[in-house]
Amino acid sequence: MDSFLEEEEAAAEMAAVLKSPAAQAGSALLPTLHLPFLPPHLYRPASSHEHKLNFKKSKEVCLNYIQDAMLQKQWKRAAEFLTFYIESLEKDFSRAYMGPSEMIWRIGTEILCHHSHSSMKQFNSFIEQMKTLGVKRYLKVCLEHAFHLLCNGLIDEAYQNLSLAESWRFGEQTAIQDKEMKLIQAYRGLLDYYSWSKQKDILLEHGQNGFEDLSVEQEMHSCFRKAAMNLKEIIKIPGVWDLFVKCYVDLLEFYGDHNEACQVLNEYAYNSKFPANPNAHVYLYQFLKRHGESKKSLISALKILHDIVPSHELMIDFNTMLQKSKKRKKRQLGLEVIFAALDYAGWKENVKGWSCLARQVKQIVISEKHLDWIKQEWNSRKDWWPAFHFSRYLAKRNWQENESLSYEKALVAGILLGKDCKYFKYVSHQGCKAQVKRFRMLKKFVNKHNPVYLRISGLSDSSVQP
């Protein structure tokens, strides 16, 4: 490897050459550049046995150089190494046909996406070569091509590319690539949905009052039929199809087929053949809420979401519904839900979350009923929540940045940790100093109910300062 390092140092001497106009003009994927900084045995003729050994070693070394260049975002250097790699393959296997490996396709695509001198024309040319020579991965390459076109805003070109791919037939290879074909059809359906959405906006903006609007409506219905057909097929296959499901449901809702939309969402959320997917329950909940379904149905959808992602933002909605329930078990679950959400760092400064907890805790303290609920939740958190949520540093920062947040947290801290809690003492002092009425009332409330802290903590006559 020492020789390789020595040869690498020679790369610096090549820098001036590579920066020249001539070198830059040929710096697409396949520039005809000689790479003297590669080890000599990469291009030295050798005996058959020696050549095979050296070629295998050379190939690995060259790929390592390519990887290193890509990781350092040296796309020009990576392109030159890939050029040499391809040329070496051609020389070594000149007597037998060998299609481009997936590695060349993947690396080449990545380089062309980032190379400063790469153009869309060069990218298209490279991809077409990969399609022609890589029959076994033809449809994958087509999908990659379509994605690249979409990322560059070439929607019509992407649609045409997908349409051509859908009509592709190549003997048994067509059946082997059935999954890829379904993806091709699904993404074409997605673009049909995009066209439908554009036509819908035009129609809604101008109203239905003329020949032009009639033509727009006809075009819109045509796009709907094509989109619905392909989207419906892909979401039957077990998998994560969030975007496709959302678009298909939007189509169904627009045309008033709410039963079919509900059935699709229920299947997506509850079919055991599909992987666990929190978004599936989010979409179902949002649909049920839009259509005024019962709270029982809404709670059922959010209960599963809570089990999968207890830190989801919809836990605010879940807690609110549970708190309003007349059933004791549901109100207790509501307390459990909001405590669990606040365990996560992303909720540390969530005013709504702390407001929910403060409101429910305050209600329990005033009623002096169900203090055991608070104690049960606090027991597993009393060792780490004080440092995580209620330090003096956080009290200062919260007070400076968000008065409402500091108020809600101070109320919770005062009840859970008592009147001597650092967080509560600092915030209540600053609030009273600023002559804010609610902070004076907060201080009186916590002082009055300090015995609750003793009961929650299991203490009898003393409190412990966190």
Tokens matching residue 109: 């695509």
Which has the closest alpha carbon to 273: 303, 302, 240, 306? Answer: 240
Neighbours of 445 (CB within 10 A): 16
pLDDT for position 84: 76
Instruction: Give just the sign of the alpha carbon dihedral 263, 268, 272, 277.
Output: negative
pLDDT at residue number 35: 34
Burial of 250 (0-12, 13-18, 19+ CB in 10 A): middle
Residue with tokens 């049920």: 288
Q: How many CA atoms lie within 13 A of 48 on its CB side?
A: 0
Q: pTM higher than 0.95 for the full model?
A: no
Report the pLDDT value the prediction gives residue 121, as an integer from 0 to 100: 85
Helix (H) or strand (E) holding 354: helix 351-367
Rounded to whole angstroms, the Cα distance separating 129 from 124 reads 9
- Whether 456 and 375 have beta carbons less than 8 Å apart is answered as yes
Sign of CA dihedral 122, 125, 129, 135: positive
The pLDDT of residue 7: 34
Residue range 309-362, pLDDT digits in tens? 999 999 999 999 999 999 999 999 999 999 999 999 999 999 999 999 999 999
Predicted confidence at residue 134, as pLDDT, reads 65
For residue range 117-149, list pLDDT tens digits in order.
Answer: 778 888 888 888 887 776 678 888 888 889 888
What pLDDT shows up at residue 214?
73
Q: Name residues of the chain where pLDDT drops below 50.
A: 1-47, 93-100, 210-211, 461-466
Question: Helix 450-457 crosses helix 371-379 at what angle (to 10 degrees)?
Answer: 50
Q: Is the dihedral of CA 97, 102, 105, 108 positive or negative?
A: negative
User: What is the pLDDT at residue 94?
Assistant: 42
Number of H helices, E strands in the chain: 26, 0
**Strands, E assignment, 175-328:** none
